[in-house]
Chain A
């Protein structure tokens, strides 16, 4: 250290931390494509196909959005996605928190078998389930309905596991004290445990929102009626038929991603904290 110091002093020193040289280009690399998506959605197709390509539109064109809203059921797809995501989040909050609590705190016959079965399902790849689930949905008659998109998102092993880990980390004394005071199981859960679980519930809600909003494979497999598409399926179908209408495709992309991106930027601090929370829990 001592022998190194003089050499360091002689060296040219940047007026800012050298880490900026890594982070600034990185940050641009991650964000500029999204900015371009937004800008391109406001270009005319002739502007987009110009050579060399332009980054900033000369005039603001809304033809992409006009085309998107007149030539597709995009508003309906947006509504479908919102419905699916809302049901998914609400169902997750109710079903995964109760199940997580049951597996963490209550002692009952079959608890361990149930939990092991649940965790084992994580190993099964979605692709294995596509064919039988499609057939199952067809038998029940919910293909081509929104139910096909939200039923797989009602509860997930990940959600139950997350909530169980959280409840295990809570000290049990509070609940024991309430039980001695004569509170019923239901009262303990709703009045004492759930209010404490707010951070875990927020994490669960965020992840469920992200994965159900962005899910492509289930609605793609089970829904072929374009009135019941979700945004993601609608987008990919659109891409298949209008390969070169970039303004329209980018407008669709903006509609599909902007709500979550804006939500993320506003809830950013909380969001990253929540991701780390899950990350640590594995």
Chain B
């Protein structure tokens, strides 16, 4: 490369005059072959996300049911969001779900990963068992869960009865539905978190932990002061990933409670789905979706900002 540059610099005048068209031609040929590689996927992804996202913004400024002509309402839908009690409740449910789900999936995933990282018998069997629910679809998981947590003949209440504990309404109780949904989501997702932590644990140089032991640190202190700091980047990644999962949780709610009972498990995503596809309020639904987008982005950027400030290299 440097050699090539040097020759053009000392090239005689006629070649310099020739150089620009040939370089330009080389540039176009390069761009053509570059875009031949990168173009199709980029076109599909961008076409199916940025274009509809921009369109969604225009829809969010109208009142439209998809059939009769759209009516421009400016920022009306966004103003409507400010005093919509159902939306406010849905935001509360989404935040509760995220606050329950994210820390527990981090803690549980880390605990399981530490356990799976021991050289004990059956560890491969345990790993398979814990990961299998991740493979099952959220729809199937939801249907299975509504069977297991069925108040009349579900296994969950049967266990409680055997232990002489009071039976519960679970998904049919408006105070428990959200918590039960969170438990089901954990059941399906923790395997993934655990496997990610397991990989990170196996990447920690053994000498680090051994050095801590030589310095007289007990197991617990070695974990807290040596292993935990090494896991931070993974934790940032898991926190972002699972927050987005929790905020956008839809399939499970759709197949267990459909937002009920009495709207007690209606999250923002579910509310948006109902607005758009049950009541055909495309305009208002899009505005709510934009609100959700803004919130997700702020949360993601917030976690990034925090990790950057505490000098964690997460990505």
Contact = CB atoms under 8 A, between A and B. Distances in A.
B42 A125 contact: no
Interface stretch (B5-13, B15-23, B85-93, B121-129): B121-129
Contact of B139 (A98, A124, A214): A214
Interface stretch (A27-35, A59-67, A194-202): A27-35
Contact of A272 (B136, B195, B314): B195
B132 interface: yes
Contacts of A37: 140, 144, 147
A276 B198 contact: yes
A276 B199 contact: yes
A276 B251 CA distance: 25
A180 interface: no
Contact of A217 (B126, B195, B251): B251
A256 to B, nearest CB: 5
Given A20-B122, A108-B35, A125-B248, A99 B41 contact: yes
B120 interface: yes
Contact of A106 (B33, B191, B248): B33
Interface string A93-125: 001101101110011111100100110110111
B161 A210 contact: no
Contacts of B44: 95, 154-155
A107 B30 contact: yes
Interface in A192-217: 210, 213-214, 216-217
B34 A253 contact: no
B135 A128 contact: no
B265 interface: no
A221 B152 CA distance: 33
A89 interface: no
Interface residues of B, number: 99
Interface string B150-190: 00111100100100000000000000000000000001000
Interface residues of A, number: 99
B223 interface: no
Contacts of B36: 102
Interface string B207-234: 0000000001010000000000000001
Given A53-B154, A108-B31, A257 B135 contact: yes
A220 B269 CA distance: 15
Contact of B255 (A111, A236, A260, A272): A236
Contact of B125 (A27, A132, A159): A27
B143 interface: yes
